[in-house]
Amino acid sequence: MTQKITKLVADFGGTHLRVGFSDGFSVTGLSKVRYKSGVSSLELIANYAKNYNKKIEQIRICAAGPVENDKIEITNSNLIISKKEIMGFFKISDVCIFNDAEAACYYLPEIKPSSYSTINSIESKNQNFAYIALGTGLGVSCVKQHNKKSIVISGEGGYCHIPYSEKKNTSRDVIDIIQNDYPRVSSERLISGPGITLIYEALSKINNSSLKLTSEEIVASAIANKKGLEYEACKILFELLGKFAASVALIYGARGGVFLSGGLLVRLYTILPNDLILKNFLIPGRMKNYVKQIPLHIINDDLISLMGCAVYKK
């Protein structure tokens, strides 16, 4: 009988840590911890682990930021995750750290239908899956199944140039205004939580308004009122997300499906037109039939990256 390995898994998001133990298929002892000023990422994990009398043999950690030199500087936070530091503290060598979008991709081949809604119901054509996470940033990654092994390709796709509208319209006017303040407008600049604020401010300029709102205020107002600029800002965000998803699908050849994720996405999807993302995903012109045959899903499970850490195998 194979002895189970004690694996600690953790997901450092924009504001919270999700941490637990895994047997490779599920997560137990799940805890959600909000960051506190002056508390390091190592302390957060160590404080959790000391509450359990377990000999930790593996550690899998993902975070919202790129992995460079075995470290992750978490986006929009002062926290730094160091693989070397973690190995030294826990005195184990089997430690892996990932970008959160990369980690999520390890779970996509295993994901259960209950964890997502399908908005382009088409049979998969291959085993290439793309993943886009909408949050404080814009995470992009993909996974390919080869010989029953998951091969993940991770990068910084969120920093690709923003997709322009084919025709002159409000969303294009918004991008033109924002472009005056930046040398280059990336997709993440607008397709993100902070991006809603920029979109709203540009709409306000167009409508001769000077009102400034936080992203949370904009979303709350959009949910309460479908006739204001806040709602319009959220619609533009979804239009851009649909176009961006089509580009990602083409780049990765993700004919197995494109998965969209993020709490902001899930909140807004219920109040915006159901076909808004899909209409913009289904591009016109060349390759329209290729993209039309790609499944498109919205993930409603906020543990997707943590589960990726759980199922990952070297």
Cβ contacts of 266 within 8 Å, gap of 6 or more:
298, 300
**Residue 2, pLDDT score:** 47
Cβ contacts of 20 within 8 Å, gap of 6 or more:
8, 9, 10, 27, 28, 29, 30, 31, 306
Cβ contacts of 51 within 8 Å, gap of 6 or more:
none
Domain boundaries, given as residue ranges, for the chain: 7-99+304-311
**Residue 211, pLDDT score:** 86
> Can you give the C-alpha Rg of the chain in angstroms?
20
Separation between Cα atoms, residue 8 and residue 5, nearest integer Å: 10
The CATH number, out of the four listed (3.10.20.30, 3.40.50.1000, 3.50.50.60, 3.30.420.40), of the domain defined by the range 7-99+304-311: 3.30.420.40
Strand order across the 95-99 sheet = 27-34, 16-22, 7-12, 58-63, 95-99
Nearest Cα neighbor of 11 from 314, 311, 308, 254 is 308
Cβ contacts of 5 within 8 Å, gap of 6 or more:
24, 57, 58
Q: How far is CA 243 from CA 78, 100, 250, 257, in A?
A: 32, 22, 11, 15
**Residue 1, pLDDT score:** 37
CA end-to-end span of the chain, whole Å? 21
Digits of tens for pLDDT over the chain (314 positions)?
345 678 999 999 878 899 999 987 789 999 999 888 888 999 999 999 998 888 899 999 999 888 899 999 886 678 899 999 999 999 999 999 999 999 999 999 989 999 999 999 999 888 899 999 998 889 899 999 888 788 998 888 889 999 877 778 889 999 999 999 998 999 999 999 999 999 999 999 999 988 889 999 999 999 999 999 999 999 999 999 999 999 999 999 999 999 999 988 999 998 999 899 999 999 998 899 999 999 999 999 989 999 999 999 87
Q: Which amino acid is at 214?
A: T
CA 111 to chain centre: 15
Question: What is the SS3 assignment for 118?
Answer: strand
The string over 76-85, giving b where at least 16 C-beta atoms fall within 10 Å of a residue's C-beta and e elsewhere, is: ebebebbbeb
Q: What are phi and psi of 183, to 5 degrees?
A: -65, -30
Separation between Cα atoms, residue 153 and residue 73, nearest integer Å: 20
71-73/80-82 β-pairing: antiparallel
Taking residue 248's Cβ as centre, other Cβ atoms within 10 Å add up to 21
